[in-house]
Amino acid sequence: MPMTGSTQVVKRTYPWTDTFDGLRTTFRLMTRDDRDAVVAFATQQPESDRVFLRINITDPAVVDEWLDNIERGRTVTVFAESEHGLIGYASLHHNEMLWTSHMAEIRVLVDHATRGKGIAHRLVGELLHIARAMRLERLICQVPADQDRVRHMFESLGFQPEAILPDWIRTPDGALRDLMILSMYLRPFGA
């Protein structure tokens, strides 16, 4: 599927379906029609999860900006859905105009009720496939340093810790937390 505003092409075929621990899950690309579903999904997540999102996706205007970036080819977002609706997403954020045009950032959120089934792992795997098709050289992700489960998931896919930034995250209650940056060098297909 061509990405508007970009010379890159996503070569994965969507939608497709798989089962995770008995949960039938369909993977597809996010579209403008998904705005309200994203807002509803984000609103249903515990505040303890939403506090670590880079943007406030409970705000429809913020989701509109996200969708604008998809249409400009700066973001690719893969949804995971069950029969009950959205259960997670993963986004690849990339800007060909920046000095970091060879890299992209990954962001992931999976519904608190469906964690531990491997959905986040599969979503990030989808982004790895897309990033290679886009010929990106490096991926980064940012996670709270104390979220061991998330860090281990990224490390199991080949990401390595790059830095810990002390007191980088300020939660709404004013507490400061450390941020870990992980990265992964990508090999092109066939390498």
3-state helix, strand, coil in the chain (%, to 5): 30, 35, 35
For residue 155, is it within any domain? no
How far apart (Å, rounded) are the C-alpha atoms in residues 190 and 180? 31
The domain that contains 92 carries what CATH number?
3.40.630.30
For residue 44, is it within any domain? yes
Answer for the pair 122, 20: CB distance below 8 angstroms, yes or no: yes
For residue 163, is it within any domain? no
What is the chain's pLDDT, residue by residue, as a tens digit (191 residues)?
Answer: 333 333 344 456 899 999 988 999 999 999 999 999 999 999 999 887 887 788 889 999 999 999 999 999 999 999 999 999 999 999 999 988 778 888 999 999 999 999 889 999 999 999 999 999 899 999 999 999 999 999 999 999 999 999 999 999 888 788 899 999 999 999 755 55
Question: What is the pTM for the complete model shown?
Answer: 0.87
Domain boundaries, position 109: 16-139
For residue 146, is it within any domain? no
For residue 184, is it within any domain? no
For residue 43, is it within any domain? yes
